[in-house]
Amino acid sequence: METETEAPSEDEGESMQIDEAPLSQDWRDHLRTTPSRATGFSPFFLVYGAESVLLTDLEYGSPRLKAYQEHQNQWAREDSLDQVDEARDVAVLHSARYLQSLRQYQAQRVRRRDLNKGDLVLRLRQDNRGCHKLTPPWEGPYIIAEVLKPVTYKLAVGAP
């Protein structure tokens, strides 16, 4: 993707001219500028410490670009870099809160079921190496031979 921008001359005023190759419909997805639900920030911001300037911002002159002043940029950039670490800490906390709410949502949908001696069960396969991708993730059936703890069982090979 080649983009050429021309700085506005004094006689052109605030207008900017952009010559660009045609972009695909989902170009915003490639820039990753949408804030994540888990962190509250865009991935671009967490990596670079500033929000990206989109082509539409350049073309239509966003307020952020109109307010840009070269002589204040260095000071503002140093200040924003100091705040990036704080923003990343906030993102970690926001992500932890989001994961906790997901766990709570999933936990309310799980029905607890006590298993007894003699019940037939399937066991989740622990090692999928050497298995075809369509191989079932479950092994069994197994018979519960002994209940060791409320969620710990001794299994025996079952005959269906």
User: What are the tens digits of pLDDT across the range 45-63?
Assistant: 888 777 777 777 777 777 7
- Return the closest-CA partner of residue 33 out of 20, 13, 48, 14: 48
Q: What is the pTM of this model?
A: 0.48
**Does residue 78 surpass a pLDDT of 70?**
yes
Which of the four pLDDT bands, split at 50, 70 and 90, describes residue 14? very low
Mean pLDDT of the chain: 77
Q: Distance between CA 136 and CA 128 in Å, rounded? A: 10
